[in-house]
Amino acid sequence: TQLLEQSPQFLSIQEGENLTVYCNSSSVFSSLQWYRQEPGEGPVLLVTVVTGGEVKKLKRLTFQFGDARKDSSLHITAAQPGDTGLYLCAGGSWGGKLIFGQGTELSVKP
């Protein structure tokens, strides 16, 4: 069974701080996706990483896929209140179904 462990589960920081969210597995995934989910809405894709060691940047967000394609991280620089939400990592699996981590609830206070 493929599992993704995401940490931390909860993160409360002040505006302007940096943070990192981790996603780890004992399984190899062919791709790793990061989603953000707002209350009452479905997850929205932020990025897909597919190559071991790959780094992608999206404004203040930096995503990294581990060399062995078993882990990934999301780093946010100078967090803003608008970054508040649930961040989910998800591994691609057979047939396209996604294996999600438990999520990280981020709260950025002004």
Partner 1 sequence: GAGVSQSPRYKVAKRGQDVALRCDPISGHVSLFWYQQALGQGPEFLTYFQNEAQLDKSGLPSDRFFAERPEGSVSTLKIQRTQQEDSAVYLCASSLAGTSDYNEQFFGPGTRLTVL
Give contact residues for partner 1 (rule: CB under 8 A). 4, 6, 30-31, 40-45, 48, 50, 88, 90, 92-103, 105
Strands (E), 55-100: 55-58, 61-65, 71-76, 85-92, 98-100
Length in residues, the chain? 110
Q: How far is CA 85 from the centre of its chain?
A: 12
Residue nearer to partner 1 on the CB measure, 40 or 82: 40
Residue nearer to partner 1 on the CB measure, 43 or 66: 43
Residue nearer to partner 1 on the CB measure, 15 or 41: 41
We find the least distance from the C-beta atom of residue 3 to partner 1, in angstroms, to be 11
Residue of 78, 81, 80, 54 lying closest to 66 (CA atoms) = 54
We find the least distance from the C-beta atom of residue 78 to partner 1, in angstroms, to be 26
